[in-house]
Structure formats: structure tokens, C-alpha cells
Amino acid sequence: MVSAEFNTKNQHYVWRHYLNAWTVDSGFCCYRQKDKKLFKTQPKAIASETYFYEIQQLTNGDMAFLEDIISRTTNERLRELNRDYVKMTQIPFHLRELLKSSYLNPKARAALEGELRGAERNLIERYHTGIENKCQDVLDSLRNMDDAFYKDEVRCGDFLHFLSHQYFRTAKMRDGLSNILNYIPGHDPRRTAKILNHIHATNVSVGLFRERNTYRIIFLTNDTPIPFVTGDQPVLNMLDPEVSDNIELYYPLSPNLAVIVTKDAARFPDRERGVTTFEVERYNYAIYSNSKDQIYSNDATYLGCLVAAGKHVLAR
């Protein structure tokens, strides 16, 4: 059987440690759009689904689709990384096929089957836990407005990998990738979405790392009466991909601090910039507009005012 330590049923797509910055007396405010409900809760209770990262066995059509996506990059090492990830997700299913032809007593077979079922449900969840654990000190440094790690190639790579996954691993991204055009027979986008988001995150993080000397971390300090909020899509690209090939990632870190990873030295000449009330409102509406269902704040009154305006996509 799967041990309780290995089996995580309630799987988060927004990091609990990240959300702790909005807690007051161990709780914070959440607005759930599908219920139109504002309530106080804890980070462990939101931005999660039962076995959110559970993987499925891929068909030949699914594999052909993923290979088509992977092969579009010209970087052979990047193609290998993504192919290896696809193979990793299918290990439990390959082992199950081997188990069918093995000579085991029923008790041993049932125990191995339980372990394989646990791997299907927890393999990717554990993968993301590893990414988060590797960057906990980075997140803590950013909250102290310390970006010295960015000068270290390894730590810079860890951070950009982490940030890209915080952008792509969410429920909103999964749902979007589950509804893409199906152009290969036998391919179901719902089966490949949880793998495709990883491929996109890897591709983006590698691209950012290659251009790390042109991208900079900008700290947005908020001394206004209005707090930064966050949501179930905590990282946003503030540039329209149909207009610009560049990326500008916005990531609120706390009610009083956010970061922008950007190339735009004209708009952001200094590493630290105080934001106006209007700018805070703009960033908060972007978080709200791009959320799937939930947004979070330390201030219930403000959160109620924010959602009262109605959800819409603002021009970036």
C-alpha cells in the first residue's frame, strides 16, 4: 500500500508557503467566484484539488502530439529534457505492463499495484514539491528585496525554472491546455495538458535563462492603503503575446511587495520602484481578471470592493 507520507490527496497548484505572506492570525481572505462567496480560510484549504497532478497513460496519438510540440524547438538538449519528462510520467504504466507477466502471489501483486497507483497520483506532485523546496530560500530573499542570487547561474536557473512553473502549473493553465485544438487522431488534450504545461514551463525558463543578462528583477514596493492581492493564477505575463515576443512576469510576494521580471529598462530604470494606488489597482485587477476561481488578500473589505466591480480582462 502507499504510505501516508507518499500519498498526498489534497494537491496544491499554488504554493502554501507562498500564500502564507497574506495570512493574518493564521488565516486570510478568499473570494470564490463560482460561489460568489468571500470567506476567511487558510492556505492549506485553497488552490488545491484532489489528486490534481494525477497522470494518465498516453495513447500513440497523445505521444505523437507531444513529440510534435517538443520537436518545434531547435535546441536538442531542450528536446531531450522534455522527452525524458514525458517518459518519466509513463514509468508507472510501463511497470504495470511488466507486472502483468510476472509470477507473484496475490498479496505481493496487490502491494505493487498500490505503489504504482500511488506513483500515478503523486509523482508529479512530488516533482513540484522539489522545485518549491529548492527555491524557498530564493522566495525568502526576494521578500527581503535581495536579488543577489540572480548573479549566480545555478540559483538564477533555479529561480526562473520555479517562476515559469508557478505560471504554467495552475488549474487555469491546465484547463486551457485541455481545450486546445485536437489535430492528431487518438489524442485527447485532457490527457496531455498536465504534461504540456511542464513542456511550456521548461521552454520558457530556458529562454529566460539564455537572456538572463537582459532580464532584470524589479521590486515594486507598495506603501499605499491598498494591498497587493494574489490568486489561483499567481504569476502573470503583463505583455500581450500577440503583440510582443518578450515576456514580463508579474509576481506579487506579499501585500506590500511584488516583483516584475522584465527587459524594459525604459519603464523600469531602477531595481526598486514605489507604486501608486492606480498601479496597485491595475495589478490587482489583472490578478482578478486572469484568475480561474479564487483570489486572496489580507484585507476582506478591499477584496469585497475589488470583486464588486465585476471580472473582466483589462488591456495590458
The pLDDT tens digits for 193-249 are 999 999 999 999 999 999 999 999 999 999 999 999 999 999 999 999 888 889 999
The pLDDT tens digits for 80-114 are 999 999 999 999 999 988 887 777 888 888 888 88
State residue 316's pLDDT score.
Answer: 43
The pLDDT tens digits for 250-272 are 999 999 999 999 999 999 999 99
State residue 312's pLDDT score.
Answer: 67
State residue 1's pLDDT score.
Answer: 38
List the 236-237 sheet strands across, edge first: 236-237, 249-254, 257-262, 216-221, 272-274
**What percent of the chain has a predicted confidence (pLDDT) above 90?**
85
State residue 104's pLDDT score.
Answer: 81
* Angle between helical axes of 106-134 and 153-168 (0-180°, round to 10): 110
The pLDDT tens digits for 131-163 are 999 999 999 999 999 999 999 999 999 999 999
Q: Measured between alpha carbons, how far is 128 from 73 in angstroms, rounded to an integer?
A: 24
Residue 189, CA distances (Å) to 17, 63, 66, 81, 196 in order: 31, 11, 10, 21, 9
Indicate the pTM of the whole model. Answer: 0.93
* CA 132 from centre of chain: 10
Dihedral of the alpha carbons of 45, 190, 196, 261, in degrees to the nearest 10: -40
State residue 297's pLDDT score.
Answer: 98
State residue 109's pLDDT score.
Answer: 80
Measured distance between the N- and C-terminal CA atoms of the chain, rounded to whole angstroms:
50
**Contact by Cβ (8 Å): 248, 214:** no
- CB-based burial label for 307 (10 Å; 0-12, 13-18, 19+): middle
**Average pLDDT, integer, range 43-67:** 96
Determine the 3-state secondary structure of 236 from DSSP. strand
State residue 100's pLDDT score.
Answer: 79
State residue 105's pLDDT score.
Answer: 82
37 pLDDT above the threshold of 80 = yes
State residue 26's pLDDT score.
Answer: 81
